[in-house]
Amino acid sequence: DVKVTQSSRYLVKRTGEKVFLECVQDMDHENMFWYRQDPGLGLRLIYFSYDVKMKEKGDIPEGYSVSREKKERFSLILESASTNQTSMYLCASNGASAGANVLTFGAGSRLTVL
Amino acid sequence: GQQLNQSPQSMFIQEGEDVSMNCTSSSIFNTWLWYKQEPGEGPVLLIALYKAGELTSNGRLTAQFGITRKDSFLNISASIPSDVGIYFCAGHGGSQGNLIFGKGTKLSVKP
């Protein structure tokens, strides 16, 4: 069964802490994405990557950075967490093939910043 | 930019009732997708539509790609308690760009 795995399901951090959210996919997908989900706002794209070492800003990149050193792994980094970054974070991936628009999502990482 | 309007925002229904939700776009899409997100989990793909007019079923779920390519609907027949969750539509214009998501329809089913 193909998967996108987000290793941290629930995190509680303090304001100013550096936070790493890890995502790994086993489908050999080229493209990986990070979204945040907030009530009433739906899914908003933070960053995405079309290849190793490549990254592109999404709609709300401020306060975030990403790292893609290996094809299967895409990390979201909060350099200095703030309370307004309390949210559900979703990682997703897809491949450059037929049906490529279909995203496969991880189970999510719920982050609380105190 | 492209926008998706998804309605209704939420629904409270009785078990056994049919459900209908829809999405409309400000521009033409080449792909429509419907996802379901259960509480505490990530969205899971329900149905993918790739052709205008296409009508596709997945068990009690039926989705259609509108003829104008600017809308899609999802129907759930004979709802059951495990249908609860948030249903998202998503569309893609076919050119460079990412999926555009609706804001979701939250479904609650009363046994």
Report the alpha-carbon distance of residue A47 to residue A78 in Å, rounded. Answer: 12
Q: What pLDDT is attached to residue B40?
A: 87
Q: What pLDDT is attached to residue A66?
A: 97
With pLDDT > 70 as the criterion, what percentage of chain B qualifies? 95
Per residue in A33-75, pLDDT (tens digit) is 999 999 888 899 999 999 999 999 999 999 999 999 999 999 9
Q: What pLDDT is attached to residue B9?
A: 95
Q: Considering only alpha carbons, which residue of chain A is nearest residue B9? A: A40
A39 touches chain B (CB under 8 A): no
- Confidence label for B98 from pLDDT (cuts 50, 70 and 90): confident
Q: What pLDDT is attached to residue B104?
A: 95
Report the alpha-carbon distance of residue B25 to residue B36 in Å, rounded. Answer: 19
- B33, B88, B104 ranked by CB distance to A102: nearest: B33
Q: What pLDDT is attached to residue A40?
A: 85
Enumerate the β-bridge partners of residue A100.
Answer: none
Q: Which of A49, A60, A91, A101 to mutate to test the interface with B (most CBs of B within 10 A)?
A: A101
Per residue in A83-100, pLDDT (tens digit) is 999 999 999 999 876 566
Are the C-beta atoms of A72 and A25 separated by less than 8 Å?
yes
Report the alpha-carbon distance of residue A37 to residue A31 in Å, rounded. Answer: 19
- Confidence label for A78 from pLDDT (cuts 50, 70 and 90): very high
- Show which of residues 31-50 on chain B sit within 8 Å of chain A, judged by CB atoms: 31, 33, 35, 40-45, 48
Query: Over the Cα atoms of chain B, what is R_g?
Result: 13
- B43, B92, B103 ranked by CB distance to A40: nearest: B103
- Confidence label for B96 from pLDDT (cuts 50, 70 and 90): low
Q: Considering only alpha carbons, which residue of chain B is nearest residue A38? A: B103
